[in-house]
C-alpha cells in the first residue's frame, strides 16, 4: 500500500511538472507585421532546456539567422520572451497565448508597434 501511494505521488508530480514545459525541438510559425497583417513571414523556434532545466528559445527569423531570446518563460498558458530584432535593432517583448498545442500573440516594441507571431509544435 505504501509503495502504491508513493508511486501515485511520483506520477502526479511528474505529470504536473511536464505539463508546464514546452516540447523540445523545432517549432515553426509565422510573423505578420502590424502594417501588413495578411503577410506571413516564416519563422522557427529551437526550443530546449539547459542543464539547470531553464527554458531556452532560439528564434530563426525569415532570413535564417538565429536570434537568442531573453528570459523565455512559460506560465500556465502564456509564453513570454524578448529579443532584439536584427534588422532595425529594436527590442521586442513577446507574449504568446496557448491554444491547444500552438501559441500566438504579439511582439511589441517600446513605441507600441507590433507583429503577430505564431508558434506550432514539432511534427
User: For residue 14, is pLDDT > 50?
Assistant: no
Residues of the domain holding 78: 2-119
Per DSSP (E only), the strands in 2-113 are: 25-33, 41-49, 55-60, 66-68, 70-75, 78-85, 90-99, 102-108
Look at residue 82 in the predicted model and tell me its pLDDT: 97
Among the listed residues 98, 88, 90, the one whose alpha carbon sits nearest the alpha carbon of residue 118:
98
- In angstroms, rounded to a whole number, what is the distance separating the alpha carbons of residues 116 and 123? 22
User: For residue 13, is pLDDT > 50?
Assistant: no
Look at residue 87 in the predicted model and tell me its pLDDT: 79
User: For residue 36, is pLDDT > 70?
Assistant: yes
Residue 4: band (very low, low, confident or very high) from pLDDT cuts 50, 70, 90: very low
Residue 19: band (very low, low, confident or very high) from pLDDT cuts 50, 70, 90: low
Pairwise pLDDT comparison (102 vs 15), residue with the higher score: 102
Look at residue 84 in the predicted model and tell me its pLDDT: 92
Q: What is the pLDDT of residues 44-91, one digit of tens each?
A: 999 999 999 999 999 998 889 999 999 999 999 999 999 998 878 899
| Residue range 96-118: mean pLDDT, rounded | 95
Domain count, the chain: 1
CATH number at residue 94: 2.40.128.120
Amino acid at each position: 500500500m505504501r509503495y502504491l501511494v508513493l508511486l501515485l505521488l511520483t506520477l502526479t508530480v511528474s505529470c504536473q511538472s511536464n505539463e508546464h514545459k514546452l516540447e523540445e525541438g523545432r517549432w515553426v510559425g509565422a510573423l505578420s507585421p502590424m502594417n501588413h497583417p495578411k503577410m506571413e513571414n516564416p519563422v522557427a523556434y529551437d526550443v530546449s532546456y539547459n542543464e539547470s532545466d531553464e527554458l531556452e528559445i532560439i528564434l530563426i527569423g525569415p532570413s535564417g539567422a538565429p536570434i537568442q531570446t531573453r528570459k523565455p518563460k512559460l506560465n500556465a498558458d502564456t509564453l513570454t520572451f524578448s529579443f532584439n530584432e536584427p534588422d532595425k535593432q529594436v527590442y521586442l517583448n513577446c507574449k504568446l497565448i496557448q491554444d491547444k498545442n500552438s501559441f500566438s500573440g504579439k511582439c511589441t516594441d517600446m513605441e507600441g508597434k507590433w507583429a503577430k507571431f505564431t508558434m506550432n509544435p514539432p511534427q
